Every structure is written in C-alpha cells, then in structure tokens.
Structure 1
Amino acid sequence: MKKRIKASGIILGVGALLMAAGYYFIVQNSSGAGEISEVADKIEEREGQEVEAEKPETGEDEADMKEVRLQINLHQMTHQKIIADKKKGAIEMTPDNIDDLLTIVEANKDHYEHSDFYETTLTAWKQSDFSNAVHVHNTIWDWHGGTVGRATGLMTAEQERAFVEKHYR
C-alpha cells in the first residue's frame, strides 16, 4: 500500500513538473506572438462579447497615443473592409474615428516610426478610398508577428454591411 502511495506521489510530482515546464516553454515562446494578438485575446476573454467601439481607444490624451496602440486601432478598423479567416477586435471605420486618428498622427509625426504610412492610409480613408485596407492590415499584421488572419481581399459592399450590422448595430 505504501508503495502505491509513494508511486502515485511521484507520478503526480513528475506530472506537475512537466506541466510547469510546458507552461514556461509556452510563455517564453509566445512573447513574439505580437501585440495585436495579445490585446485581441484579452478583448475576447471578456466573456465572448463582441468588440464594439464608437471611437478608437485613445487613453487620456489623444495626442500622446502610443504608436503600438495606433497600429492596433488601424488594424482593427481594417476588419470592416477586409476578408480574413480570423479577425480579432473591431473598431468602426467612421469619419470621426478616421479624423481622430489623423489628428493623433499629425501631432506625433516626429515621434512615430511609421508616421508617413499612417498619414497616407488615413488620408486615403478620409477621401473614402479604402482600396489600401488589405495592404494596411497585412503590413501591421506583419509588424506584430501575426500568424493567423492574414487579409486575402476586400469585402463586397454586402459583406461589409453584414459585418457592420453584426459588430456595431
């Protein structure tokens, strides 16, 4: 009987060590998974609620928005226009949201590494030209080490209406 208890204890101990080692390995290797995936995963954890935002998340002072947050907002705005197998997060691509982000980019032009990219993107969007949405999505996706959900094309007007209805109305 003592041998069984001892053997069970050893098996449980080894199992716990393997689980801890596995967890450590996963945490260490997922650090490059990308900011977009991490933030989107946190959003999805909110009990499966759909992400809804009338305005991009900007923090207390819009002029001080971190570049990574701006990238995430742009990325999530493209979800309204692009086709992808998986999309995490969504911010409605409204004229107000576009204007707000353009103001932020202009205020941080000297601080953002990719300010020309953001300004070109948002200026086109402000003029209702969304033909760059796939390129914008995949560029930011690449910057953040995306592994799933690469954009493959633009939605039709009908697909976009359905997306807007599902996520914002």
Structure 2
Amino acid sequence: MSESAVQSAIYALSHQKVAAQDKWSHLLITPERISRLIEVVEHNKDNFQHTNLYLDILYSWRDGDYSNSVKAHNDIWALQSGTIGIATSLLTPEEEQQYIEQHFE
C-alpha cells in the first residue's frame, strides 16, 4: 500500500466522524481497518514521509479516541492539497449514525 493510499484511507475513515462541506470518499471505521493501516505504516515507517502523523491518528483511533478526527481530516486534506471540504467539527452520535446508514447500510 502506498503512502498516498494510506492518506486516502485515513481521510475516508475520518468522514464518519467529522462535519465537512464535501465528502467524496467513504470507508466504514472498523478495528480491522485501523489495525491493517497501523501494520502498513509501521512496516513502511522508513519510507513514508509522514509516519508519525499517521501513527498518532491511528493509535488514538485504535484506542477508541476519535477526538482528533477534525485535525486528522484537515492534516491529511492539506497533504493532499485539498481546496474544498475542510472539516469544521465532530459529528454528534446521531449524525454519525445517519452517516453510517446513508453510506453503508
């Protein structure tokens, strides 16, 4: 998995947790996905340019702490030269459930 693919996956996962103007990618957050991304980043730690950023995000998420999701989204968004769709806040539990139902059920 390339560094760009890791960025895209983290970005898509973050959409489940944040309010943003546009969300073009969607991945359901699962423990398996987070663990797999951690494995990929740890395996490529010497080759990836932003290893510490990815691991900070993913370790928090692995531990059930999504409070960094707005920052995570916007940091990845900036790395990908985003111009539309900055995250502005965390979703409420109700908004997150609506997002899940809309995109994954």
1:120 CA drift (Å) = 1.1
Separation in 1, partners of 2:91, 2:9: 19
Residue in structure 1 matching 2:14, options 43, 57, 78: 78
Query: What are the within-5 Å matches in structure 2 for residues 15-94 of structure 1?
Result: 65-94=1-30
1:145 CA drift (Å) = 1.3
Count of paired positions: 105
Separation in 1, partners of 2:28, 2:46: 27
* TM-score normalised according to structure 1 size: 0.61
Separation in 1, partners of 2:61, 2:85: 22
RMSD of the alignment, in Å? 0.6
- Greater Rg, structure 1 or structure 2? 1
Long gaps (5+) in structure 1: 1-64
C-alpha distance after superposition, 1:41-81 (max 9, x if no partner)? xxxxxxxxxxxxxxxxxxxxxxxx11011000000100000
2:93 is aligned with 1:157: yes
Among all aligned residue pairs of Structure 1 and Structure 2, give the percentage whose two residues are the same amino acid.
38
* TM-score normalised according to structure 2 size: 0.97
Give the match's secondary structure for 1:89.
Answer: coil
Long gaps (5+) in structure 2: none
